[in-house]
């Protein structure tokens, strides 16, 4: 995510902080921090209306590995145009088996590697 100046409000929960971070362009993050970075469950709202609700590891959208607070490691990303993806993330990219849905109702349920469809999947129109 782009480095921008942000206003931060934090609430301490032992070594992990819950907080809200806002940017001048209207972007906003609500969630957990560890060592000054987004870590654990959170929601990120971009200025253009896109949003992500899921896990973060060291400021990256993350759905595989160990998150500090949760065992449910998948997230949902919704684009401004209505497309959605629900499934695992790694290094802020779609990775693993998930469901990608278009606004017209078309879906792809299958594998992804680095944001691209990969392996077995089922496309429904």
- Residue 1's pLDDT is what? 47
- Residue 72's pLDDT is what? 41
Which CATH number is associated with domain 7-124? 2.20.110.10
Closest C-alpha among 18, 31, 23, 32 to residue 3: 23
List, for residues 1-39, the tens digit of each pLDDT value: 445 555 565 555 456 778 999 999 999 999 999 888 899
List, for residues 44-53, the tens digit of each pLDDT value: 998 888 888 8
Global pTM reads 0.59
């Amino acid at each position: 995510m782009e480095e921008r100046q942000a206003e931060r409000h934090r609430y301490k929960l032992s070594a992990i902080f819950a907080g809200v971070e806002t940017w001048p362009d209207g972007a906003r993050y609500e969630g957990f921090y560890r060592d000054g970075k987004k870590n654990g469950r959170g929601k990120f709202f971009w200025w253009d209306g896109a949003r992500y609700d899921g896990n973060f590891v060291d400021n990256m959208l993350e759905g595989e590995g160990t998150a500090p607070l949760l065992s449910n490691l998948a997230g949902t990303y919704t684009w401004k145009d209505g497309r959605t993806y629900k499934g695992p993330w790694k290094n802020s990219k779609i990775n693993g088996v998930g469901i990608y849905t278009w606004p017209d109702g078309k879906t792809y349920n299958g594998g992804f590697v680095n944001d691209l469809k990969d392996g077995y999947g089922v496309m429904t129109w």
